[in-house]
Amino acid sequence: MDKIKIIVVDDHPLFRQGVIDSFSLEPDFDVVGHASSGERALEIINHIKPDVAVLDVNLPGLNGQQVTRQVVIDKLPTKVILLTAYDDTEQVIHAMRVGAYAYSAKDVQPETLSEIIRTVAKGYYYIRGEKMDADGVQDWLAEKTDSSSRSYSDPGEPFYPLSAREMEVLESVTLGMSNKEIASALGISHQTVKNHVTAILRKLGVEDRTQAAVYALRRGWVRLYEQDEDAEEQ
């Protein structure tokens, strides 16, 4: 029997090791690598091409959704499962639109996470306890998004709520930087920063910069600090 090759990506060493130890008890699982950052995760995925990647949404550098999107863009065979401490329908929508195969709260039972991995490895999707095929996911997304008129993405960015530049601006906003400071740091004009901030508020459906920062932090899109990276293995 071929084992399911898995990598585990989380910047909290204790949680990451706990997941790895749990997987070691499954005879059909083979943990072939682990990482503590999104950038390192992409390196391992490109090099090893595991069957499944279990990713924390809130990662230093590239977050879990950005890593997922890049895996899809690069047409890599790895299927991504996103884990989060903040679980709501809106975030599941983001995750599935970006290309994840499953999205789960971090307090998931080990046996349930193992079931999700086996489901995903077979090419199915897993949403809120339900196994779906690709058509089922599209139907689910249509049902959930038809009721919302909010625009989550720009042309050319169909699977992610904000463009890459808007994510940079949002991260700077979250760090408390002024428009002038953001313009200087990113090498763009003050007016361009203002335009990006306006677009960010509109897309996230919030009223001001503080609400945008809280929105992003709670969902793990950006971080207030960077933790020291731990040793990683392949």
Cα–Cα distance, 18 to 113 (Å, whole number): 13
- Radius of gyration of the chain measured on its C-alpha atoms: 18
Query: In the structure encoding, which two tokens stand for residue 173, read together?
Result: 């906003």
Query: In the structure encoding, which two tokens stand for residue 204, read together?
Result: 């996230």
Query: In the structure encoding, which two tokens stand for residue 69, read together?
Result: 């999107």
Longest dimension (CA), the chain: 59
- Locate the domains of the chain by residue range: 4-144, 152-234
For domain 152-234, give the fold: Arc Repressor Mutant, subunit A (1.10.10)
Domain 4-144: CATH architecture, name and number where available: 3-Layer(aba) Sandwich (3.40)
* Helix pair 209-218, 164-174: axis angle to 10 deg: 100
Query: How many percent of the chain have pLDDT more than 70?
Result: 87
Which residues, other chains included, contact 158 with Cβ-Cβ below 8 Å and sequence gap of 6+? 97
Helices (H) and strands (E) in the chain, counts: 10, 7
What pLDDT, in 10s, does the model give residues 100-134? Answer: 999 998 889 999 999 999 999 999 999 888 899 98
What pLDDT, in 10s, does the model give residues 43-53? Answer: 999 999 999 99
- Enter the pTM of the model: 0.69
Residue bearing tokens 């930087």:
177
Lowest mean pLDDT: which of 7-11, 159-163, 192-196, 216-220?
159-163
